[in-house]
Structure 1
Amino acid sequence: MNIKMGVAKAGIKPSGDYDILVVKFPLSVYSAVFTQNSLAAAPVLYDRLVCEIQDRILALVINSGNANAATGQKGFENAEKMVEITAECLGLDKSEVMVFSTGVIGVQLPMDKVENGIKQACQNLQDLDLELAARAISTTDTFYKYYETTGMIDGEVFTVKGIAKGAGMIHPNMATMLAYIFTDVKIDKDLLDKATKLVVDRTFNSISVDGCESTNDSFVVVATGESKVEINDSNRVYFTKKLYEVALELAKMIVKDGEGATKLIEINVFQASSKEEAKKVGEAIATSNLFKTAMFGNDPNWGRILSAVGQLHLDIDFSKVKLYLGDFLLYNGEPIEFDRSAAIEYLKNNKEIVINLYLSRGEQEWTFYTCDLGYKYVEINAEYTT
């Protein structure tokens, strides 16, 4: 794919690491999903306007270290200024550029540093380097999140690749995260919007680290149309699966990197009466601090799982419910004798834990991802701005 990027160390991050990323690509169809937090950040407000008037875009500009959220009219003007600087440097119309920010809330952007950083990034464009791009948008991340795959339709190869950031303040809708996926397929915007919605519901809107919904969450899929592969009704399912593969891997990386996390926890809810019910049940377990701290302590305390489900008041008949921790059946309508020591060892020795819950109410299912909650999370967030 003919995608170029530039990065800069503008001095926004206290660490002095890269904090500006500019990405330029051919005029492309795109689809975007944003946070539903009422305190949406200035760049989110700006980008929503772009989405209303523009079906195709040419560039993204992103800063990390400052969220430009809860910054009022000046914050909105600064977001627009970032777009204007980028458009001027790249010779584009400002309506073809989207802007994103991530970092500390409630602090105005240091626009002199931002402007210099954007100009530097635009002057040093190179081929897209996923690792370097992911590094430039990271904040409290402990590793850089990127993934790519290829697919084949009618003998022609296409590519899907993406980057993401996020570790804390992760919860639908959406999770504090930024994620960008690039593909070279030809696709109609309406079809891309449908695929993106399906994918985001099962990935970035099905993860939680701490139950805290961010002000800046943004997920964008860009389709450059450079390959010979054209997505239509006959192959859209296959393409969507590839898009899902990349989004899911990125989403799981975010959960794995949950601030202070030691375990990725996959919660599968089966035999629900509806997908909505299955998702709600999975989310209730994923956001239970009692459950998450038990997982951190390697405690197979299944009562915390079922009580989290019970507080939803869904009139579930728990005499028909089955609950597994890995291969251990913990509950089958009543307490089950299980090898507690072996279950503890399962929790101690595995970085990825699986919970399977069967509700016996229907045929629908959902998978939700979370992580454990430990001491480090409190330390990181207690000292976040100090």
Structure 2
Amino acid sequence: MNIKMGIAKAGIKPSGDYDILVLKFKPSVYSVVLTQNSLAAAPVIYDRMIASMTDKISSIVINSGNANAATGEKGLENTEKMANIVAENFDIDSEQVMVFSTGIIGVQLPMEKVEKGINEACNNMQDLDLKKASTAIMTTDSFPKYYETTGEIDGKQFVIRGIAKGAGMIHPNMATMLAYIFTDVKIDKWLLDKTTKLVAERSFNSIDVDGCESTNDSFLVVATGESDVEINDTNRTYFAKKLLEVATELAKMIVKDGEGATKLIQINIHQARDNKEAKKIAEAIALSNLFKTAMFGNDPNWGRILSAVGQLHLDIDFNKVDLYLGEFLLYSGKPNQFDREKAVEYLKINKEITIDLYFGRGDGNWTYYTCDLSYKYVEINAEYTT
């Protein structure tokens, strides 16, 4: 897959780390899912406009350290200028460029630094290096997030590669994050749009760190069509599963890196009335600060889990509910006798925790990822400006 990248240290981040990333590829079909936050950042507004105008793009530019959110008309002008700088460097139409930003809200971009950084990145293009690219888009992240896989259809291979960022303000729709996935398959835009939406629901729209929805959330999938694999009605399910694999792994990394998090918690809902209900239940548990603090304290307090479900008023018969923490059956229509010391030890020694609930009322299922809520989270966000 012939994707080129350029990175630069423009001086947007106080740390002096890489803060500009430019990616260049052949004109390609794409699908983008953007935040539903009413305080949408300038690049989100701009990208919505681009998405309404063109079915193909050939470049993206990302800055980290400044969200360019709540910046008014000047913010929109600066976003458009970023696209124009890239377009001029590559001699392409600016409508083929999407722009993304992440960082502090309510501060205008230092455009002199941004312009210099974009020009530097465009003049030093190299083959895509997932680790380097993901490093350039980090803000409060403690590690770069990237993942790739391959698939095979009719004896022909295809590739899916992705990068992401995100650590705090994580909550659908989507999670506070940027994520970019690239594949070399041939696929019609309508089918890519449909697949991307489904994948987003099961991955980036099914994670939570702190219940705070961001102004800049963006998930982009680009299909360059460089391979001999063509996605159609007969193989689209397989392709969707491979795309979901990459998105889910990136989403889990975001949750693992939740500010101050010590545990990744997987909440599996089984036998709900339908998938919609299953997701609603999983999200209620994931959003419960009482549950999340119990997990941080290594407390197998099943009451906090069931009370989060009960507050949804879904007319659930709790006499039919089974609740597992790992392999420990904590509740089965009534409090179950379990080895509390071993359950506490399970929470202490494992960085990845599994919760399973069975409701016996249908075939709905959903998986949601969250993390614990620690002292460190409060410290980080008490000292963060805007």
What TM-score, normalized by structure 2, do the two folds share? 0.99
Which residue is equivalent to 1:170? Answer: 170
Secondary structure at the aligned position of 1:207 is classed as coil
Which stretch shifts more, 112-121 or 313-322? 313-322
Secondary structure at 2:323 match in 1:
strand
User: Matched residues in 1 for 2:297 and 2:168: separation?
Assistant: 20
1:109 partner letter: L
The corresponding residue for 1:332 is: 332
- Aligned residue identity for 1:161: R
Deviation of 1:384 (Å): 1.2
**Secondary structure of 1:249 counterpart:** helix
Aligned partner of 1:253 in structure 2 is 253
Question: How does 1:1-386 map onto structure 2 within 5 Å?
Answer: 1-385=1-385
Deviation of 1:143 (Å) = 0.5
Secondary structure of residue in 1 paired with 2:265: strand
Partner amino acid, structure 1, of 2:87: A
Q: Aligned with 1:33: secondary structure?
A: strand
SS of match in other structure, 1:194? helix
CA offsets, 1:345-370, max 9 Å, x none?
00001000000011121111000000
- Between Structure 1 and Structure 2, how many residues are aligned? 386
Instruction: Give the fraction of aligned pairs with identical amino acids, expressed as a percent.
Output: 76
Question: For 1:106-158, what per-residue CA distance to the aligned partner results, in whole angstroms no more than 9, with x for missing partners?
Answer: 11100000000000000000000000000000000001000000011111110
Provide the C-alpha distance between the structure 2 equivalents of 1:318 and 1:154, rounded to a whole number of angstroms. 48
Give the C-alpha shift of residue 302 in structure 1: 0.5
Q: Secondary structure at the match of 2:136?
A: helix
1:320: Cα distance to partner?
1.0
Partner AA of 1:338 in structure 2: F
User: Counterpart amino acid of 1:141?
Assistant: D
Shift of 1:64: 0.2
1:385 to partner: Cα distance = 2.1
Does the residue aligned with 1:99 lie in a helix, a strand or coil? strand
Query: Helix, strand or coil for the counterpart of 2:152?
Result: strand
CA distance in 2, matches of 1:344, 1:308: 21
What are the superposed Cα offsets for residues 332-351 of structure 1, whole Å, 9 maximum, x if unpaired?
A: 11111110000000000100
Alignment gaps of 5+ in structure 2: none
C-alpha distance in structure 1 between counterparts of 2:218 and 2:300, whole Å: 35
Cα distance in 2 for partners of 1:14, 1:381 equals: 17
Distance 2:93 2:218 in 1: 22
- What amino acid is the match of 2:130? L
TM-score after normalising by structure 1:
0.99
RMSD value over aligned CA atoms?
0.7
